[in-house]
Structure 1
Amino acid sequence: MKINPGDIFQRAKNIILNPKSEWTTIDNENNSHSHVFSSYLLWLALIPAISALIGWSSDFGFGIKMAINHFVTIIGGAYLTAWIINELAPRYNGVKNFNKAFELVAYCYTAICVAGIFYLFSILGILTFVAGLYSLYTLYVGLSPMMKAPEETNGLYFIVALICMIGVSIVLGVILRVALI
């Protein structure tokens, strides 16, 4: 499979600037989770990882730990959160489809991964928090079209998905920090 950086850039730009219409486009695609992982998320997850490594170059050991932590939290978090969102779909009158759940989560990570460039200057890393909030907005907008949850259950489904996404990220982050000490 050939990776096209232009496609990655275009998808990232579209999901950040116009998520509602991009979710419709994504929903009409028939991509497997492995395709989305290898052609998109893997590459975006490298942005905060490499940026953290460079940004913490004054303490190379810490920079490596930060890079590993960011990369594994994004990749592991995407798979775990997608699995949870998929399993919850019937409870909120949605349709179980792991590929769609993974696309939803992977593309939701777009803003936070792109903002990971701020880790080049460790002091600016806090700005990724703002991107994280926008990532949650893209989750909200994408939940209904991707998981086929009706609008009347979308709000509650989003809250539960949000709690799961944050919980998974925190747990993975803590485990990795302890493991990498």
Structure 2
Amino acid sequence: MSTSIVERAKNIIFKPASEWSVIAKEPATIGELFRGFALPLTFVSFVPTVSAIAAHAAGIAVPFYEYEGMGLGVTIALTFVSFIISLTLLYFMIHTVRSISPRFHGTSDEVQVAKLVIYAATPAWAATWLALIPIVGELLSAVAYAYVIYVIYLGLRTVLGVPQDKLVVFTLVVVVVYFLLLMLIAGTVAMLIV
């Protein structure tokens, strides 16, 4: 990955169409994409939660703290499990999108699909910081998650070569697959915990 992680994140958020053109052409491996981008941004997206846990443990009141009333150990465990779920979800999304892409006349190249799935998640990772802003933060986070759909839409054509007439349907399929996988993975983890 020739572009720095900060530049890549900024570009995919503020000028995704032109950034997808750069991403589509640059060489990468799945390992590099996970180590150099997904892992650090997933980690950074959990900093607000970890900060709230630390403040709560120190006896500092944290507005809108999600884990109020839970023990510190349970909260830390849930945060760790959420981190693992996030990375697992990326892995399964890559393989699922790869398997359905040819049905929409897109490439099944694993690295290209990994680029799309991993880089498209950037606005969602950034949105975790928006949630720190009381009241408005939740609204801004929702907007950021909706923006991910637009980023995916733009990337499908450029990175996977999906024809224009298939973009809307494939984008919707990717979103539905994401939610189904999220429910499946989270449900499985919840069954294991309970």
TM-score grouping bracket, smaller chain normalisation: 0.7 to 0.9
Which ranges of structure 2 fall in alignment gaps of 5 or more residues?
57-70
1:75 and 1:82 map into 2 onto residues whose CA distance is 11
Superposition pairs of residues 2-151 of structure 1, within 5 angstroms: 7-57=4-54, 58=56, 59-118=71-130, 124=137, 127-151=140-164
Match of 2:176 among 163, 172, 180: 163
SS in 2 for 1:80: helix
Pairs aligned (count): 178
Contact 2:149 2:171 in 1 (8 A): no
One-letter amino acid matched to 1:166: F
2:97 and 2:140 map into 1 onto residues whose CA distance is 27
One-letter amino acid matched to 2:173: V
Identity of aligned residues (%): 22
SS in 1 for 2:4: helix
One-letter amino acid matched to 1:70: S
TM-score between the two structures when normalised by the length of structure 1: 0.86
TM-score between the two structures when normalised by the length of structure 2: 0.81
Contact 1:53 1:66 in 2 (8 A): no
One-letter amino acid matched to 2:123: A
The structure with more radius of gyration: 2
Q: CA deviation at 1:25?
A: 0.5
Contact 1:52 1:120 in 2 (8 A): no
SS in 1 for 2:50: helix
Give the CA RMSD over aligned residues. 2.5
